[in-house]
Amino acid sequence: MTEHIRLACPQLLAPHEGGYQLLGSRCHACGEIYFPARAACTRCCGTRFDTHGLGRSGVLWSWTIQGFLPKPPYNSGETEASFKPYGVGYVEMASGIKVESRLVVGDGGLQIGMPMQLTLERYRTDADGAPWFTFAFEAVAPAAGKQAAPALAKEHRHAQ
């Protein structure tokens, strides 16, 4: 069965190497990189930017566990009773930029400095049963038994 994929943050992602990568912006004048993309550079006040692919790999820089239901605009559809804690933290990308992200907590847990890769996590489900996905990072070699992330490149290309 092929699921129709809906991304909660399509402007932040682009197909890359059979999966996705994060999209930021790079200041045309000074080269500063931002994620998410910006309209003005805080380093040089430049306003010309190029889209900049951040890749899909990084290193875990800091993390914690979100243990209670966040307030709106968080809109996962969960209630305080149904909420499941999740990881959140910063992943340092190859360019040095640190990206705040949801984190998949595998059987091996999370450790600062561990290699991470981009994946998609089911974020909410509509009343008609259609899932929404958001980006997340998971350990590069997740422990056995973890459900594999869905392969989405084909469906996404369809929506371009």
Would the CA dihedral through 129, 135, 136, 142 be positive or negative? positive
| Cross-strand bridge partners of residue 86 | 66
Count the neighbouring beta carbons within 10 Å of the beta carbon of residue 4: 9
Beta carbon nearer to Zn ion, 25 or 76:
25
* CB of 145 vs Zn ion, minimal distance in Å: 45
State yes or no: residue 46 binds Zn ion (CB under 5 A).
Answer: yes
- For Zn ion (CB under 5 A), the number of binding residues is 8
Pick the stretch among 35-43, 63-71, 85-93, 106-114 that binds Zn ion (CB under 5 A).
35-43
Q: How far apart are CA 136 and CA 86, in angstroms?
A: 11
* CB of 55 vs Zn ion, minimal distance in Å: 21
* CB of 68 vs Zn ion, minimal distance in Å: 38
State yes or no: residue 93 binds Zn ion (CB under 5 A).
Answer: no
* CB of 54 vs Zn ion, minimal distance in Å: 17
State yes or no: residue 27 binds Zn ion (CB under 5 A).
Answer: yes
Q: How far apart are CA 84 and CA 132, in angstroms?
A: 16
Among 17, 18, 36, 43, binds Zn ion (CB under 5 A): 43
State yes or no: residue 37 binds Zn ion (CB under 5 A).
Answer: no
Provide the strand spans (E) within the chain.
6-7, 13-16, 19-27, 33-34, 49-55, 57-66, 86-93, 98-103, 115-125, 131-139
* CB of 13 vs Zn ion, minimal distance in Å: 24
**Site for Zn ion, rule CB under 5 A:** 27, 29-30, 32, 41, 43-44, 46
